[in-house]
A and B are shown apart, each in its own frame.
Chain A
Amino acid sequence: MIIPWLKGLRFFHEAPLTWTLIAINLLFFFLTNGPQPEMSNLNKHEIKLAGRAYAMMHGKDVPADGSQLLLLGSRALRDNTFFARYRDFNPTQDTVALRSWQSKVDEFQRDLKKRPVDMFGLHGGEKHPGSWFTYQFMHSGAWHLLGNMIMLMIFGAALEALASSALLVFVYVAGGLFGAAFFLYLSPDTSAPMVGASASLSAVMAFYALFERKKRIKFFYFLSPSPGYWGDIYLPTLVVLPLYFVEDLAQYFSTAEEVGAAIAYTAHLGGALFGIALALTFRFLCRRSPRWEQILYASYSRSQPEAP
């Protein structure tokens, strides 16, 4: 086992914005994660029919295999183009099933819109402008929230201590917006809402990793209880990039569209690209003019050699 390890918690006065962001995320979670509205479910037969309709809509061959139809049907139910056109699907084969199928899809679509993740998350369909911001504070579950908040505590606090709260909030929010834009650019028709602070945190992590690439992050390892087989190691901050972002890139390219993934890898990548671009820009500006260095290192002491 080898996991990143906090070297002590930063108190509120040391990282006020980090704690504020954590509090906002927690508040959002508790407000939106109560009892969920009941969803109508389509049965296997209806999902296959959705798959058939989807294939015909896109002029593709309808798979002969029932499992492939099910996968295509699941894909259809995550696609706004399907919801825009399913009422035009009017074959003459099983007209009885078709009538009940259309009303079930209507009901499914109505139920989707009642969910908090659809109201506050970001997706390719109709959305209000506020969802570009609210999605950054929504999470789909307790583990999702916990993972992101741990990362925020490590890297958010580190960036806030490095530079300033203003820079942290800029990187966080702008990174989230850029990540969302990247996500929608690559998946414009998706109806599955995206939630989570991951795009924002990717921007924070990438910025910090590139800007402080010589620093090291503490990891705790445990191989066995024997002495010498557990303890701390310090890995370069730059190792975060291949560990995290190359992994996201790899997962994005290796996920079949029909199967889909529960993680918006493109949002992570968009946020990371923004963080990398911003870090490189700042480095360039800092070399050219000390004024930028003053803006950036408003609260930073260069004598701190240790890891966050």
Chain B
Amino acid sequence: MVFEDLSSLQKKPAQNDSRLAPVSDRILSVIVDFSLFWPLFTLLLSSILKKLQYRYYAAPESAEFWILLAVTVFGFGALTVIAQALFWSVLGATPGQMFFQLRVRSVHTGKAPTLHAALLRGLLFMFEIVLLGIPFLEVFSHPRRRALHDRAIDTEVVTLKEQGIQTPHRLEIHFIRSFFTMCLALGLVWSFATVSRFYASAVKGEYKETELTDAEYLCAEVPAREGSGGRLDAAMAMFLTGSLSLECLESETDFAFWKGEKEDQSWAALALAVAKSKDNAAKDAYLEQVCAKDDQGYACKLAKWWGSKEVEPAPANNVSWARLVMSVQRAEENGDIGTWKRELARVPSDFDLAEFLEVQKVKALWAEKKFEQAEGGYAVIWDQLSSRPQRELATRLCLSEITQDCSVKSYRYCQDLEASLKNSPQETVDADWLVALAEDKACRNAKDSEFLAYAKDLDPESDSSKLIMTLLPESGLSESTKLENLRSVAFKSGNPALQTRALFHLLRTSRHLSDLEKSQKVLASEGLPYQSELHAVFMKSAASMGFKVGPTKADRVPASSKPEPFGEDEP
């Protein structure tokens, strides 16, 4: 007994000349028993295990999974206890123990324990396993090699072999007892630390449940909204501003396609057209689907406007987030400051993308050449922005700085961009940011071998990669290769921003008249950013080479790009 029964009659324990079982035999018998019983128990619990396995892959964080796991563990535990108890009480040993000629015997009677006692022994055996098997170590320190499960029911394990094991050496006893003390101390410290951590997390509110009806389909980041488009309108806007992943957007559209009405499917098709905007065939196919699903809905009107790249404002709608974002981004691309500012003043009441608005306001001020106000706004919002909007803003201003003057020793916004990239090197890097940094290094003629690490994921055949390698002083490319790269990007790229950068450098470095001719055609036909700056560089280059210049687009400044007084939304 663990606790001495003071009321029992004094009895001498039965004369016991049994040989104590070697510990190695006991351990091996457990291994053999496990090998024999585990497959059988797995077979008996197979239906539960099947469900558990399915839940593990389908929804490992669900309550159902944890319940099934608990049932499985309980099932295995119960079967083990019952099997052991039956063998101990009937035969005095499990099959593994029989094989190694071990027997479990009562200390008082020398016989096998009763079923009741054997069940208790089995339960304590499982309890010792739960405690990581540490209580089993007592077989090394107890004089009769009895652990808790033996002492609780007054049994010991003996061997039928001729030679048993000696009682423990005093050093063995001392070592095991010290180990137990250490485990107890560590256990108390760990328990205290764990409880404290859970308490602190609970106080911070980390265990609040999110309200989601379907966790796998719908993304927690997308707000539930009423009205036309609803969630998808918000999801599209968030995707366009970089605050929603493609995977989330696809989940939302999937849900809309298979569970939603025609109107929702129309919005879903538009969202996918936006998501696949770099694949022209897929984009056009989805745009066609938008109106095929619902030709009366707002999604169809918005899709027609977005797909046509019209300079006219988007169809009116006071609640659509996507409309606002698309309009603002289009105005920014076209340099249409009037539309840009008008749209920024017409924000839906529930619009939640504050970072996007702040960044756009600073950019608009900068485009209007209100540099002081823009710098002030930048300083206010910079630290509050998350990394992606930070980098987009810094990229825009960095390129603007470089375009104005490529002879400055250091560019503040380019330095901020580089610092932002270095702070979170594991995040995905956009090619546009790297182009800006490459421009910065080219202007300062600064070599930076670490920079190339950022570009390792870019496709080497892409326009961005070609431009970056051309600009970097340490790229090692020949002058002719650099010129070829610049021509390829300037005349064939579908990306206006990259074309602009390439044209700047081509016009400054090329001495070929054919390049000037092609540049003139590009300047005349394309709506490129920094038109007036490009025009100035082109004229300078043409004058130095004696090239006869025809009329260019920069000569025809559209009325809408004239700066207008800013409204009430100044930062």
Binding site for B on A (CB under 8 A): 2, 44-45, 48, 52, 62, 64-68, 71, 93-97, 99-100, 221, 223, 228-229, 233, 235, 239, 242-243, 246-247, 249-251, 253-256, 258-259
Known contacts A62-B258, A65-B58, A243-B35, then 11 further A-B pairs from the complex at CB < 8 Å, ordered by chain A residue = A2-B28, A67-B57, A96-B282, A96-B289, A97-B272, A223-B28, A229-B24, A246-B43, A254-B53, A256-B53, A256-B57
Pick from B247-255, B323-331, B354-362, B433-441 the stretch touching chain A: B247-255
B46 at the interface (CB under 8 A from A): yes
Closest 3 CB pairs of A and B: A253-B46, A250-B42, A66-B216
CB distance from B347 to the nearest CB of A (A): 32
Q: In the complex, are the beta carbons of B257 and A93 less than 8 A apart?
A: yes
Q: In the complex, are the beta carbons of B50 and A228 less than 8 A apart?
A: no
Q: In the complex, are the beta carbons of B285 and A96 less than 8 A apart?
A: yes
Q: When A223-B24, A228-B24, A254-B50 are in contact, do A246 and B40 touch as well, CB less than 8 Å?
A: yes
Q: List 20 A-B contacts (CB under 8 A).
A: A2-B35, A64-B216, A65-B59, A66-B251, A66-B254, A71-B58, A93-B258, A94-B254, A94-B272, A94-B289, A96-B269, A96-B282, A223-B27, A235-B99, A242-B39, A249-B43, A250-B39, A254-B50, A255-B50, A259-B53
Max chain B Cβ within 10 angstroms of own Cβ: one of A64, A221, A239, A254: A254
Q: When A45-B250, A94-B257, A96-B282 are in contact, do A2 and B31 touch as well, CB less than 8 Å?
A: yes
Max chain B Cβ within 10 angstroms of own Cβ: one of A62, A96, A233: A96
Q: When A239-B36, A246-B43 are in contact, do A67 and B254 touch as well, CB less than 8 Å?
A: no
Q: Is the interface of B mostly helix, strand, loop or mixed?
A: helix
CB distance from B526 to the nearest CB of A (A): 29
Q: In the complex, are the beta carbons of A52 and B24 less than 8 A apart?
A: no
Chain A residues, Cβ within 8 Å of B35 = 2, 239, 243
What is the total number of residues of chain B having a CB less than 8 Å from a CB of chain A? 43
- In the bound complex, what is the Cα–Cα distance between A24 and B18 (angstroms)? 56
- In the bound complex, what is the Cα–Cα distance between A97 and B40 (angstroms)? 47
CB distance from B157 to the nearest CB of A (A): 16
Name the contact of A253 in the complex, choosing from B50, B57, B217 (C-beta under 8 A).
B50
- In the bound complex, what is the Cα–Cα distance between A239 and B96 (angstroms)? 11
Chain B residues, Cβ within 8 Å of A97 = 272
As a 0/1 sequence over residues 17 to 53 of chain B, the CB contacts with chain A under 8 angstroms (1 = contact) are 0000010100110011001101110110111011101
Q: In the complex, are the beta carbons of A52 and B258 less than 8 A apart?
A: yes
CB distance from B71 to the nearest CB of A (A): 13
B199 at the interface (CB under 8 A from A): no
B464 at the interface (CB under 8 A from A): no
Chain B residues, Cβ within 8 Å of A2 = 28, 31, 35
Chain A residues, Cβ within 8 Å of B499 = none
Closest to A74 in B: B57
B286 at the interface (CB under 8 A from A): yes
Instruction: Please provide the chain B residues from 33 to 87 with a CB less than 8 Å away from any CB of chain A in the complex.
Output: 35-36, 38-40, 42-43, 45-47, 49-51, 53-54, 57-59
B214 at the interface (CB under 8 A from A): yes
- In the bound complex, what is the Cα–Cα distance between A300 and B373 (angstroms)? 100
Q: When A65-B59, A242-B40 are in contact, do A96 and B286 touch as well, CB less than 8 Å?
A: yes
Chain B residues, Cβ within 8 Å of A223 = 24, 27-28
Q: In the complex, are the beta carbons of B28 and A254 less than 8 A apart?
A: no
Binding site for A on B (CB under 8 A): 22, 24, 27-28, 31-32, 35-36, 38-40, 42-43, 45-47, 49-51, 53-54, 57-59, 99, 214, 216-217, 247, 250-251, 253-254, 257-258, 265, 268-269, 272, 282, 285-286, 289
Chain A residues, Cβ within 8 Å of B31 = 2, 221
Q: In the complex, are the beta carbons of A242 and B36 less than 8 A apart?
A: yes
Q: In the complex, are the beta carbons of B42 and A251 less than 8 A apart?
A: yes
- In the bound complex, what is the Cα–Cα distance between A95 and B268 (angstroms)? 12
Q: In the complex, are the beta carbons of B258 and A250 less than 8 A apart?
A: no
CB distance from B52 to the nearest CB of A (A): 8
- In the bound complex, what is the Cα–Cα distance between A142 and B27 (angstroms)? 33
Chain B residues, Cβ within 8 Å of A221 = 28, 31
- In the bound complex, what is the Cα–Cα distance between A254 and B55 (angstroms)? 13
Q: In the complex, are the beta carbons of B216 and A67 less than 8 A apart?
A: yes
- In the bound complex, what is the Cα–Cα distance between A259 and B53 (angstroms)? 8
Name the contact of A254 in the complex, choosing from B49, B58, B214, B251 (C-beta under 8 A).
B49
Chain B residues, Cβ within 8 Å of A66 = 216-217, 251, 254
Q: When A62-B258, A254-B49 are in contact, do A96 and B42 touch as well, CB less than 8 Å?
A: no
Max chain A Cβ within 10 angstroms of own Cβ: one of B47, B58, B289: B58
Chain B residues, Cβ within 8 Å of A68 = 58-59
CB distance from A54 to the nearest CB of B (A): 14
Closest to A96 in B: B285
Closest to A49 in B: B254
Q: In the complex, are the beta carbons of B59 and A256 less than 8 A apart?
A: no
CB distance from B277 to the nearest CB of A (A): 14
Q: In the complex, are the beta carbons of B50 and A256 less than 8 A apart?
A: yes
Chain A residues, Cβ within 8 Å of B250 = 45
Chain B residues, Cβ within 8 Å of A95 = 289
Closest to A249 in B: B43
Chain B residues, Cβ within 8 Å of A100 = 282
Q: When A228-B22, A250-B46, A254-B49 are in contact, do A235 and B54 touch as well, CB less than 8 Å?
A: no
Chain A residues, Cβ within 8 Å of B42 = 247, 250-251, 254
Chain B residues, Cβ within 8 Å of A229 = 24, 27
Q: In the complex, are the beta carbons of A253 and B43 less than 8 A apart?
A: yes
- In the bound complex, what is the Cα–Cα distance between A96 and B49 (angstroms)? 40
Name the contact of B39 in the complex, choosing from A48, A93, A246 (C-beta under 8 A).
A246
- In the bound complex, what is the Cα–Cα distance between A99 and B281 (angstroms)? 12
Q: When A94-B257, A94-B268, A259-B57 are in contact, do A254 and B46 touch as well, CB less than 8 Å?
A: yes
Chain A residues, Cβ within 8 Å of B22 = 228
- In the bound complex, what is the Cα–Cα distance between A235 and B33 (angstroms)? 12
- In the bound complex, what is the Cα–Cα distance between A65 and B36 (angstroms)? 39
- In the bound complex, what is the Cα–Cα distance between A71 and B54 (angstroms)? 9
Q: In the complex, are the beta carbons of A67 and B43 less than 8 A apart?
A: no
- In the bound complex, what is the Cα–Cα distance between A94 and B282 (angstroms)? 12
Q: In the complex, are the beta carbons of B46 and A67 less than 8 A apart?
A: no
CB distance from B77 to the nearest CB of A (A): 17
- In the bound complex, what is the Cα–Cα distance between A255 and B36 (angstroms)? 20
Q: In the complex, are the beta carbons of A65 and B216 less than 8 A apart?
A: yes
Q: In the complex, are the beta carbons of B254 and A45 less than 8 A apart?
A: yes
Chain B residues, Cβ within 8 Å of A233 = 28
Chain A residues, Cβ within 8 Å of B59 = 65, 67-68
Q: When A45-B254, A96-B272, A228-B22 are in contact, do A247 and B53 touch as well, CB less than 8 Å?
A: no
Q: In the complex, are the beta carbons of A93 and B99 less than 8 A apart?
A: no
- In the bound complex, what is the Cα–Cα distance between A65 and B272 (angstroms)? 21
- In the bound complex, what is the Cα–Cα distance between A2 and B51 (angstroms)? 31
Closest to A64 in B: B214
Chain A residues, Cβ within 8 Å of B38 = 247
- In the bound complex, what is the Cα–Cα distance between A251 and B38 (angstroms)? 11
Chain A residues, Cβ within 8 Å of B253 = 94
- In the bound complex, what is the Cα–Cα distance between A251 and B49 (angstroms)? 9
- In the bound complex, what is the Cα–Cα distance between A71 and B60 (angstroms)? 13
- In the bound complex, what is the Cα–Cα distance between A228 and B45 (angstroms)? 36
Q: When A67-B216, A242-B39, A250-B43 are in contact, do A235 and B258 touch as well, CB less than 8 Å?
A: no
Closest to B283 in A: A96
CB distance from A308 to the nearest CB of B (A): 19
